[in-house]
Copies of this chain bind each other. A is one copy, B any other.
């Protein structure tokens, strides 16, 4: 049986509060039985992967470079693509839904592609005011929103 994949997107450098949020999002994704897919680097990506692994889940890191060593230590399956920012497109296609935590221009780009593809996009302290995005305040609400959208 194929496993459900939920994406977490956010910047490679992030402050403590955003990382703690991402870690809790990761835990809840794993607890739901889904695989967490992300860009595999640091910051929000690393925190989310850490949370997922702590909850016994699997994490897939779609890396921009050519070397699996680039992955953060909580990635269980590292996919070096050597495609640079174009690897964001793969995450948007592969995830059934995207949760954006904080984030900068790269995250905005990823949210926009997710929306273009018709995927549910949930934002937690991320880019405001985008049409079709579900804005929430807690990790619990974010994962609940994903599950409601995918039902």
Tell me the A residues contacting B by CB distance below 8 Å: 1-3, 5, 35, 60, 62, 66, 68, 71, 75-86, 89-90, 92-94, 104-106, 108-110, 112-113, 115-117, 129-130
Chain B, residue nearest A89 (CB)? B86
Q: Are A94 and B109 in contact (CB under 8 A)?
A: no
Residues of chain B within 8 A of A80, CB atoms compared = 93-94
Copies of this polypeptide in the complex: 4
Give chain B nearest CB distance to A66 CB in angstroms.
6
Majority DSSP secondary structure for residues of A touching B: mixed
**Chain B contacts for A113, CB-based, 8 A:** 85, 105-106, 109
B90 and A79 contacting across the interface, CB-CB below 8 Å: yes
Report whether B5 and A77 are in contact in the complex, using a CB–CB cutoff of 8 Å.
Answer: yes
Q: Report Cα–Cα, A71/B113, bound state, in Å.
A: 22
Whether B106 lies near A116 (C-beta < 8 A) is yes
List, in ascending order, chain B residues with CB within 8 A of A115's CB. Answer: 105
